[in-house]
């Protein structure tokens, strides 16, 4: 299993780093038409969007404290993967 990702330079104002990460779905899991986008928006909040190509996108916006909690939980769950 592998994870494909692309880094796009984003020309949005006031964003440190000007980077938008897009993680593409895995063909093995039959999720190749899905994309996960993560970036800090102009309000300094973490923007996370899951898009199913051809359908509407779902997103959430997290403040820094909540994003840190999410990061910790992701690390715990990844450690449980085999």
Rounded alpha-carbon distances, angstroms, from residue 22 to 29, 36, 49, 76, 82: 17, 6, 9, 22, 24
pLDDT tens per residue across span 35-76: 888 888 889 999 999 888 778 889 999 999 999 999 999 999
Q: What pTM was computed for the model? A: 0.64
Domain definitions of the chain by residue range: 4-79
């Amino acid at each position: 299993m592998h994870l494909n990702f692309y880094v796009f330079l984003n020309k949005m104002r006031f964003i440190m780093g000007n980077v938008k990460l897009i993680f593409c779905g895995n063909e093995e899991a039959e999720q190749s038409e899905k994309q996960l986008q993560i970036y800090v928006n102009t309000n300094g909040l973490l923007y996370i969007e899951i898009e199913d190509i051809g359908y509407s996108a779902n997103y959430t916006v997290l403040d820094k404290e909540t994003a840190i909690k999410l990061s910790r939980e992701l690390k715990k769950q990844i450690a449980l993967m085999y």
